[in-house]
Amino acid sequence: MRWRAGARSGDVEDRRGESARPRGFGVGPRLGLGGLLLLLVLSVVLKQDFFTLLESVPGAAGPGTDPAAPARTATPGEEKLVDFVDFVVSDVQDTWTSEFQALGRPYERAKLVLFTDAVRSGCGFAETAMGPFYCPADNKVYVDLGFYQELRSRFGAPGDFAQAYVIAHEVGHHVQHLLGLEQQLREAQQRSPAEAAPLSVRFELQADCLAGVWAHSTQQRNLLDAGDVEEGLAAAAAVGDDRIQRQATGVVNPETWTHGSSRQRVRWFRTGFERGRVDVCDTFASAD
């Protein structure tokens, strides 16, 4: 992919090297177990993270970043990857800003959080093993850069455009959230619990298609190198549920899928890429 490093966009929140392991309850002089439970109730009821108040209280204990975590030195190669991630998430969101303007709607930019090993998000505690994810509670995408090594070695999907596809897919979930599609999904799943898994698959495939819409824009702007499209398609295929299940257990069970098969993910990414319009991404109306 044709890109160059520049001034950081402000779309990336760097938490690499911070520790997200929970600090023990009730050991601080200012807040005991009862106070922590109160913060938990307030956080759930008011949908705000009141535990962040503890970060400015010396000696208070609660879930969050360990202030005593040792400093971490990044390699030049890792910093180059951070520059690339910053470029991609900024470019993806510039594209969606234009798309939303065409729809007559404002676009609210998401943050991409870089973390190491584990992180506390608005959706709860998460570890690297979960893979990249989007949290609608705080409008943030979470990525451990170590996932890209796994994408190459475990999933066999190398290349910078494979990495870009992952970011574009997660920002696609942010787009769904802003358009109200995420809320519609939750309501549909509540009405039809038996269809919860198939609906989730269609939701994920729609994010693949939205990633393809962004990829289409990069082609229009002459940002693609030879082989980039193939890298993106290979990444979509590599993280298909059937392929992951076959690698892990040797058994494929479509009833437990959450993201769709390799064929489905490739198909919808290609649909967005070839046609370049949001309206072609209605996976819920598709027979497949």
DSSP secondary structure string for all residues of 178-233: HTTHHHHHHHHHHH-GGGHHHHHHHHHHHHHHHHHHHHHHHHHTT-PPTTHHHHHH
Strand partners for 66: 19
Residues comprising the chain, all counted: 288
How confident is the model at residue 46, as a pLDDT?
Answer: 61
Percent of the chain with pLDDT over 70: 81
Tell me the pLDDT band of 32, cut-offs 50, 70 and 90.
very low
- Model confidence band, residue 30 (pLDDT cutoffs 50, 70, 90): very low
Determine the average pLDDT of the residues in 128-148: 95
Q: Please say whether the beta carbons of 210 and 168 come within 8 A.
A: yes
Q: Helix 196-220 vs helix 160-178: angle between axes, to the nearest 10 degrees?
A: 120
- The single residue listed with the structure tokens 């693949």 is 208
Mean pLDDT, residues 208-233 taken together: 96
Q: Which tens digit of pLDDT belongs to each residue from 44-75? A: 556 566 555 554 444 343 444 444 444 456 68
Considering the domain boundaries, does residue 75 fall inside one?
no
Looking at per-residue pLDDT, the higher value among 48 and 231 belongs to 231
Determine the pLDDT at residue 31.
44
Q: Quick one: pLDDT at residue 76?
A: 78
For the ranges 77-81, 87-91, 163-167, 218-222, the lowest mean pLDDT is seen at 77-81
Mean pLDDT of 90-99: 97
Tell me what the mean pLDDT of segment 99-114 comes to: 96
> Is 46 a domain residue?
no
Q: What is the mean pLDDT of residues 93-121?
A: 96
Q: Is residue 280 part of a domain?
A: yes
Band of residue 21 on the pLDDT scale cut at 50, 70, 90? low
**Are the C-beta atoms of residues 118 and 126 closer than 8 Å to each other?**
yes
62 found inside a domain: no
Q: What pLDDT, on the 0 to 100 scale, is given for residue 37?
A: 53
Q: Is the pLDDT of residue 265 over 90?
A: yes
pTM: 0.81
**Residue 29 predicted with pLDDT over 60:** no
- pLDDT of residue 194 exceeding 60, the answer is yes
Report if residue 28 sits inside a domain.
no
23 vs 248 pLDDT, higher one: 248
Residue 31 inside a domain? The answer is no
Find the farthest-apart pair of alpha carbons in the chain and give their distance in angstroms, rounded.
60
pLDDT at 39: 54
Residue 260: inside a domain, yes or no? yes
Task: Identify the weakest region by mean pLDDT among 65-74, 83-92, 186-195, 230-239.
Answer: 65-74
Q: What is the mean pLDDT of residues 85-114?
A: 96
Q: Which domain holds residue 103?
A: 80-285
pLDDT score, position 47: 58
Is residue 195 situated within a structural domain? yes
Q: What is the pLDDT of residue 60?
A: 40
Per-residue confidence (pLDDT) for residue 42, from 0 to 100: 60
Number of domains in the chain: 1
Q: By the 8 A CB rule, do 209 and 283 touch?
A: yes
Strand order in the sheet with 12-14: 12-14, 111-115, 140-144, 133-135
In the numeric block, the tokens 């911070």 are attached to: 18
Q: Which two tokens stand for residue 173?
A: 């979930």
